[in-house]
Amino acid sequence: MSTNQTIDPILVTVIQRRLKAITEEMGLVMLRTARSPILSEARDFVTGLYDAKGQMMEQTAYIPILAFAVPLGIKYMVEYFGDELYPGDVIIHNDPFTGGNQPADVKIVRPIFVKDKLIGFSAINGHQADVGGAVAGAYNPGATEIWQEALRITPVKLFEKGKKRKDVWDLIFGNIRFPIVQEDIQAAMGGCAVGERELVKLVERYGWDRFDAHLQHLYDATEQQMRAEITAIPDGTYHGQSRCYYDGFDPNSTMDIKVAVKIAGDKIDFDFAGTAPQTPGYVNAPLGSSITSVILTLLMCLKDSNIPQNAGMIRPITTQMPEGSMVNPRFPAASTFGNHLSDQISAAIFDALSQALPERVTAPWNPLFAIAAVGFNNRTSQPFVDILFNGLKGGGGGTKGADGYDHIGLIACGGGLLAQDPEMFEMKDPLFLHKFEYMPDSAGPGQWRGGLGVEMEMEFLNDGNLVSAFGDGIDAGSQAKGILGGGEAILNIGQLRYPDGKVHHCKSKEVVAGIPKGTRWYQVAGGGGGYGDPKKRPAEQVAREVRYNYVSAESARKNYGVAVDAKTLELDVKGTEALRKKAA
């Protein structure tokens, strides 16, 4: 750390905002140059700047689950390469056991130098359309080890000292199915180059010593903001639990996630002792994904939403993730499903913190269920792969004072995941969208209901397709639950409806091949859980949602104790009073 520098609080803020702007500009490069709709439309990536130790300076978390694992990977790179990092290097990495998320999330990292001094790194971590392995898109429910999921890339240089390493490039991309991935990696390289250029300008403007002193002060100030938030939580140890369903092998399997959240003054610890052992398949979360899930969930419970995202934010937070558990599996476990265990990790933490902060937690969100659709596009004479984000985005959980967000998607993405534009979706893929709309009665009832889920149906326009289904919320009991008296949402649904009338009900982890032209994929993403007693929800609000077709008249009567006129759909005041009096 630079010493003997007078700290200007205004300059601290200027530097923080400039760092944020740089990461946002890196993101714009990705959005405008990436080819895969997973990146260019759904925004399944994160951009960031990191100091020479790998600590986060700032990030723009389009998809939060990808964010806080990046420092783990860069810290490993610093140790791995040592003094062999040079200007012009570009590093690629996806290994879950050295600071990665799921194998499909690929980091591109550039070391940044000023006058031969390593000052930091720019990085983009993004979900790639394919990374090799047995199943296109990397979601292989039959995988029992990492090598069956994807090409395992421990840190390796694609460029060294500005020169492309053609042998390494060809080795990696020769093991990846789709040429589009090379173009998306180049887009990430471009974003990182912008981050490098702008950070160098910023440091040269103020000088390294002055910049570093103010950066360290920014870390410290952020830490104090975070500690103040934690201090406001009552001291104590709070226990929570959630459940995952189906490990991909045993159809009757369930796995519990348990957490003890300990608050002691300005410190908070998350201990996952008692969590289920790692599974034989890919339903395991690598350490980076689990830690990120913890941080993301805690941030959602805090009052101050303006805390800068840097290394100071995480200093008061500690985690205990038992090695060999499903939240920290031993090498060489499969872990492609790891990011999506954020649903259950968050639900367990909310369950615990509802005892300390009932006014700040949300009910569980809809657990992710999705498919990767793979096939050949006759229009482009190229293979295609796409994750159907429009169909997977269910509802968020209700919270005190507000209903859950409709069609927001999994909690790991924090609202950052976007559904594909229907016209762009049909233009890029040989798929036709027949239905895409809110699903009535999909949300958990509550004084503040869960967010609505969606119903989607699309048609395959070519022969020879493959679907890789992954997620949860299909099996009985796995839907989003309510809290503090709220009700549960509906289950997810995934069906292949063949031209001959046959219907295949997909498991939550399954690969189906040989899907012919004319087959339709039908999906329902359920809503979020409800918060509080539904009978306390304002009756006029319930009646209005009946008129909007968010809630059926039957559900209004059964779950909310609200009667509506069968013809006008206006509130039946006397009928409602009678129903609620009977339920009291």
pLDDT, residue 32, reads 97
CATH number at residue 74: 3.30.450
Mean pLDDT (whole number) for 449-453: 98
- Asked whether residue 346 is domain-assigned, the answer is no
Provide the pLDDT confidence category of residue 489 given band limits of 50, 70 and 90. very high
- Asked whether residue 302 is domain-assigned, the answer is no
Residues 559 and 412 in one domain: no
Which tokens hold the place of 250? Answer: 């045993």
- Ranking 159-163, 423-427, 500-504 by mean pLDDT, the lowest is 423-427
pLDDT, residue 240, reads 98
- Asked whether residue 330 is domain-assigned, the answer is no
> Whole-angstrom distance between the N-terminal and C-terminal Cα of the chain?
64
Name which of 298, 236, 232 is nearest 266 in CA terms: 232
Would you give the DSSP letter of residue 380?
Answer: T
- Asked whether residue 136 is domain-assigned, the answer is yes
Q: Is omega for the bond preceding 64 within 30 degrees of 0, making it cis?
A: no
Residues 524 and 563 in one domain: no
Of 579 and 61, more confident: 579
Would strands 254-264 and 369-377 be described as parallel, antiparallel, or unpaired? unpaired
Name which of 244, 234, 340, 210 is nearest 285 in CA terms: 340
pLDDT, residue 414, reads 84
Query: How many other β-carbons are positioned within 10 Å of the β-carbon of residue 267?
Result: 15
Structural domains of the chain, count? 3
- Ranking 151-155, 420-424, 534-538, 543-547 by mean pLDDT, the lowest is 420-424
pLDDT, residue 221, reads 98
* Confidence check: pLDDT of 345 > 90: yes
Is residue 392 within 8 Å of residue 454, measured between CB atoms?
no
Rounded to whole angstroms, the Cα distance separating 524 from 440 reads 11
* Confidence check: pLDDT of 1 > 80: no
Q: What is the pLDDT of residues 455-486, one digit of tens each?
A: 999 999 999 999 999 999 999 999 999 999 99
Q: What is the pLDDT of residues 255-281, one digit of tens each?
A: 999 999 999 999 999 999 999 999 999
Is residue 320 within 8 Å of residue 237, measured between CB atoms?
no
Q: Which residues pair with 475 in a beta bridge?
A: none
Mean pLDDT (whole number) for 346-368: 95
Whose tokens are 């070519």? That residue is 462
Mean pLDDT (whole number) for 441-445: 98
- Asked whether residue 305 is domain-assigned, the answer is no
Which tokens hold the place of 334? Answer: 């499969």
Is residue 44 within 8 Å of residue 62, measured between CB atoms?
yes
**Of 205, 223, 241, which marks where a domain is finished?**
223
Residues 40 and 88 in one domain: yes
Rounded to whole angstroms, the Cα distance separating 31 from 25 reads 10
102: left (phi over 0), alpha (psi -120 to 50) or beta: beta
Q: Which domain holds residue 555?
A: 539-583
Mean pLDDT (whole number) for 350-361: 95
Residues 572 and 516 in one domain: no
Query: How many other β-carbons are positioned within 10 Å of the β-carbon of residue 225?
Result: 16
Residues in the chain: 584
Which tokens hold the place of 139? Answer: 């979601």
pLDDT, residue 150, reads 96
Q: What is the pLDDT of residues 8-65, one digit of tens each?
A: 999 999 999 999 999 999 999 999 999 999 999 999 999 999 999 999 999 998 888 8
Residues 445 and 480 in one domain: yes
Residues 576 and 498 in one domain: no
Q: What is the pLDDT of residues 129-165, one digit of tens each?
A: 999 999 988 899 999 999 999 999 999 999 999 999 9
The helix or strand, by DSSP H or E, that contains position 171, with its residue range, turns out to be helix 166-173
Which tokens hold the place of 249? Answer: 């092998």
- Asked whether residue 333 is domain-assigned, the answer is no
The helix or strand, by DSSP H or E, that contains position 513, with its residue range, turns out to be strand 510-515
Provide the pLDDT confidence category of residue 447 given band limits of 50, 70 and 90. very high
pLDDT, residue 3, reads 60
- Ranking 1-15, 206-220, 345-359, 446-460 by mean pLDDT, the lowest is 1-15
- Cβ neighbors of 54 (< 8 A, separation 6 or more) are 71, 72, 74, 75, 77, 78, 121
Estimate to the nearest angstrom the gap between the alpha carbon of 78 and the chain centroid: 26
Rounded to whole angstroms, the Cα distance separating 77 from 452 reads 42
Residues 45 and 83 in one domain: yes
- Asked whether residue 247 is domain-assigned, the answer is no
Residues 548 and 478 in one domain: no
Residues 445 and 578 in one domain: no
Rounded to whole angstroms, the Cα distance separating 441 from 421 reads 25
Residues 94 and 197 in one domain: yes
**Of 189, 223, 257, which marks where a domain is finished?**
223
- Asked whether residue 385 is domain-assigned, the answer is yes
**Average confidence score pLDDT of the chain:** 96
pTM, entire model: 0.94
Provide the pLDDT confidence category of residue 67 given band limits of 50, 70 and 90. confident
Residues 371 and 386 in one domain: yes
As to burial, measured by CB atoms within 10 angstroms (0-12 exposed, 13-18 middle, 19+ buried), residue 4 is: exposed
* Confidence check: pLDDT of 2 > 60: no
Count of CA atoms in the C-beta half-sphere (13 A) of 158 = 20
Mean pLDDT (whole number) for 233-248: 96
Residues 493 and 556 in one domain: no
Provide the pLDDT confidence category of residue 389 given band limits of 50, 70 and 90. confident
Is residue 218 within 8 Å of residue 15, measured between CB atoms?
yes
Rounded to whole angstroms, the Cα distance separating 370 from 137 reads 12
Q: Which long-range contacts (CB under 8 A, 24 or more apart) does 211-216 make?
A: 211/15, 212/1, 212/2, 213/1, 213/2, 213/3, 213/5, 213/7, 214/5, 214/7, 214/8, 214/11, 214/12, 214/15, 215/15, 215/51, 215/57, 216/1, 216/2
**Of 183, 203, 223, which marks where a domain is finished?**
223
Count of CA atoms in the C-beta half-sphere (13 A) of 519 = 22
